[in-house]
Structure 1
Amino acid sequence: MMSAETSYSPPAPNKVLGNDDLVGEILSRVDSPTTLVRAAAVSKLWLRVASDRAFLRRFRARHPPRLLGFYVTGDWMPRPEFVPTNTEVISAASLRRAAGSVLHAFPEFSSPGVWDSRNGRVLFDHGQAPAAPDRYHAALLPDDDLVPSRGDDSVLYLFHAKGDKLSVWLRRMGDEQQLVAGEWVLRDTLSVKETCGHLVEPGPELASVVGVGDNAEFAFLEMGVGDNYFVIYLHLGSRKAEKVYQRDPDNDDIIQVHPFMTVWPPVFPSLDSDEELRLG
């Protein structure tokens, strides 16, 4: 029989799940921001730990945003095509349903296009007729083979494909989002043949850059010859390359690839007037 002087010791799980530091260690090991949001709904303590800014910085470093898929669009393509690439976070069927439901919302006679895709959101436009080739006016660059990539901390990257060489340049921007004085710095360079030549028979121009990821993390290259043109996903850090899309041989338009990434930061539950967790 327990005496009055004997202090009560809570069960071990309560000690763990009620400790901010231990909960933080547990939450930092979940596999995705989606799972983190679900875990945050367990209790107010877990929500407080998961939504803490310092914790989110550590979580992002361990689980950087992932590529879920990409949209392929072209000047004369009737509709963008969505291609799922990462089924570890969301199933390919779910991704296709989500992407398809958005595209089917446009009238059949319209020609929706993808202007941009960022942080889990897609910016569409649509018209009454197929888009004209000069619809896009985004930036004036010194060479048609330069493709810009947005970067964190006010950094601008440029991808340049010429011959066998793919180069990535960077330049930092000022507080007013103006380019500061100084030269472009070469961040990375690689041989297209050595990195991607085993996947596709290269044509005379070897490769063109049709899409890039933020912070110059990856690039989409179009390579091929004759009727066999493919889009290659190339991760710059690991040099991993793989074929992810084959162009329709009857379509010789210039295409663009827009990556579709996981959302960051996650949207957490909030507390209503009754102090109950609900999705915000």
Structure 2
Amino acid sequence: MDDPEKKPCADVYGESQHHSLTTSTTGMDVVSKVLDDDNLLREIILCVGFPTTLVCASLVCKCWYHHASDRKFLSRFHEGNPSHLLGFYLEDTDDPSVAAHFFPMLPQPAELATVIRSARFSLDPHRSEMSDMMGCRNGNVLISLYDGRDFTVGVHSPLHPERGLAVLPPFPELQIQDGYFCGMNDLLLSKEEGDGLSYIYVLVESTMERTKSMVHIDVLRNGDTVWRRHLDLATDRFLCPRFDPKAVLADDKIYIASAQRDIVVLDLMGSSISTILLPQGVEYGDRDTTLARANNASGVYLIHAKKLELCIWLHKGGNWLLVHNICLREMVAGLKMTGCEDENEATAPLRINHVGDYDEFVFLEMSRCALHLDIKYKKLRKVYDVEEKDRHLGDIHPFMMIWPPTFPTLKNDYGNAI
């Protein structure tokens, strides 16, 4: 006779096994429903946080690849995950023979720390022919090259060292009109286009009487090998672009600081020239005012430093809107820098060295120190001390993580895989 006490045990084992299989099947069904729901899957991928992780997600299968590389999806991803500041180049403006040096912003998330370690930031290989650094744009470093006779522009890609140094075609030559002269303050601007950069070269010639000016604009499209004349604009006023603050390109408009309190706007699509006055009470001074492009094609930001106060305006709809008024007194006091006590403010002026795109951060100078201000979170920290041998800080050029990321080439003969 069967032992009645053993029967329940057999039943329990059978029920347990059945329950385990049912639970496993149910779990797989839930996962399948999630991964088969394109809308939900996109929301999940939005949470990966970094462009490097986004590329990894695209390698799972073709479905994930198409979601991750879709232009509309990338736009949403970038809104929630702006480009990260990897570090900055510091240029010695007193000695052009010294190559600019890269300093990483620390700490970094593990994903981006890996990117920094694998990059090749050094500009020393180009030091013999390099005259100065022109800036950074979307993972590229622009440097001015001089061979003893002509100036050209080199493009170094630290995140893709295998590309080597690309050299732009020589700038177009201009036949200056009789009775006109051309200043040395020509402009080179760049913007993202496709998987690379396009460049805009601006040259201004004016009458000897300084009563009229002619603006010449040439464009080098991504992939082109020659400059092409885009526009010639004449104006019945004297235009003299300032070296500081630097010009800004935003939404096919070039904003150029001019005179004492003007911004000249060159509309590349509308083929027109207009002028914006600075906000009331603001004038260009000693590195206390600068411009930055807005992120939604709405215009331009103006950042002005006065003592320990930072005011940020957005020009929109023909008017200036004050969007930030940041008092730095307590932040500076917390850093305990020599010469920055209240009574010594006059001996430690606050200057703006560089502003990031979209008004995200500002690099400031104070008391022989470089400071980084995160505008969104109102956090100030010291990132560099000027060495005793140097007279001053030099120019800072922020280096951002490239956007959009480079996705692998999709092969059509791989079934469901990449």
Return the letter of the residue paired with 1:169.
W
Return the letter of the residue paired with 2:371.
I
1:147 CA drift (Å): 1.4
2:325 aligns with 189
Distance 2:378 2:42 in 1: 33
1:84-132, Cα deviation, whole Å (9 max, x unpaired) = 11521322783485212xx1331x4334532122222221223369x9x
1:156 aligns with 300
TM-score normalized with structure 1 length? 0.78
1:270 CA drift (Å): 3.3
Are 1:115 and 2:134 matched, yes or no?
yes
- Partners of 1:84 and 1:92 within 8 A in 2: no
Are 1:40 and 2:176 matched, yes or no?
no
Distance 2:331 2:377 in 1: 11
Q: Which runs of 5+ in 1 are unaligned?
A: 1-7, 173-179
Distance 1:97 1:61, change over 3 A: closer
1:169 CA drift (Å): 2.0
Distance 1:94 1:118 in 2: 16
Work out the percentage of aligned pairs sharing the same amino acid: 32
TM-score normalized with structure 2 length? 0.54
Distance 2:34 2:115 in 1: 37
Q: Which runs of 5+ in 2 are unaligned?
A: 1-24, 152-183, 188-242, 248-256, 261-283
Distance 1:94 1:54, change over 3 A: closer
1:178-216, Cα deviation, whole Å (9 max, x unpaired) = xx7x34332222223223232123252431110111111
1:105 aligns with 125
Distance 2:118 2:372 in 1: 19
1:63-89, Cα deviation, whole Å (9 max, x unpaired) = 221111111113224111111115213
Are 1:94 and 2:112 matched, yes or no?
no
1:274 CA drift (Å): 3.0
Distance 1:17 1:127 in 2: 55
Higher relative contact order (CA 8 A, sep 6+): 1
Return the letter of the residue paired with 1:239.
K
Distance 2:116 2:307 in 1: 39
RMSD between aligned residues: 3.0
Moved over 6 A (4+): none
SS of the aligned residue for 2:112 comes to coil
2:100 aligns with 80
Distance 1:123 1:95, change over 3 A: farther
1:211-265, Cα deviation, whole Å (9 max, x unpaired) = 11111111011111xxxx2111001121101111111222124622111112222
2:69 aligns with 51
Distance 1:109 1:268 in 2: 35
Are 1:217 and 2:360 matched, yes or no?
yes
Larger Rg belongs to: 2
2:403 aligns with 264
Distance 2:406 2:329 in 1: 42
Return the letter of the residue paired with 2:333.
G
1:166-187, Cα deviation, whole Å (9 max, x unpaired) = 2212213xxxxxxx7x343322
Distance 1:124 1:222, change over 3 A: same
Distance 1:57 1:93 in 2: 22
The worse-fitting range, judged by mean Cα deviation, of 15-24 and 69-78 is: 15-24
1:176 aligns with none
Distance 2:114 2:63 in 1: 34
